[in-house]
Amino acid sequence: MNDTLVTLVGHVATRIDFKETPTGPSARFRFAVTPRYFDRRTDTWSDAATSFFTVWARRTLALNLASSVSVGEPLVVHGRLRVRDDPPDGDGARWFSADIEAVAIGHDLNRGTAAFRRVVTTDTPLMTAQKAAVV
């Protein structure tokens, strides 16, 4: 598989949009990444232009994301980069957007603390049916 995996450090820019879909839970949000650099001329740190990405999470990651993250929080996002080329709109302008299909998301512990809570999993219907067949 020739995926482009990226790791981004930034802040949550929009609320988490969580939905139940026929293929399972899905969540998305906009993620702001602002690189900082040291300007030797002025002897100060400066911000470069902010880039915005749409981050997509599926299944368990979507559920945990929706209950753990809010706007403004610093995150580290790791996932597959997808660049979309949308067809020209009514004005003839072409739009490009960068999406990240998240594999892992976590709070940036350089900027604060977090209290991890393991999710308790329950038996799936398939496992319940197998257990009933054994009994």
Phi and psi (nearest 5°) for 3?
-85, 150
Residue 72, classed as helix, strand or coil, is coil
Q: Is the confidence at residue 90, as pLDDT, over 80?
A: no
Residue position matching structure tokens 């009933």: 132
Percent of the chain with pLDDT over 70: 89
Mean pLDDT for all residues in the chain = 89
**Residue 125 pLDDT class (50, 70, 90 cuts):** low
DSSP state at residue 14: S
Phi and psi (nearest 5°) for 108?
-80, 105
C-alpha distance from residue 1 to each of 5, 9, 56, 60, 103 (Å): 11, 25, 19, 23, 15
What type of residue sits at position 55? V
Predicted structure pTM score: 0.79
Q: Is the confidence at residue 132, as pLDDT, over 60?
A: no
**CA atoms of 57 and 25, how far apart (whole Å):** 8
Judged by average pLDDT, the poorest of 9-23, 54-68, 86-100 is: 86-100
- Name every residue whose Cβ is closer than 8 Å to that of residue 51 and which is 6 or more positions away in sequence: 32, 33, 34, 98
Q: So what's the pLDDT on residue 124?
A: 60
C-alpha distance from residue 16 to each of 21, 33, 41, 89, 122 (Å): 15, 17, 40, 27, 25
Q: So what's the pLDDT on residue 86?
A: 78
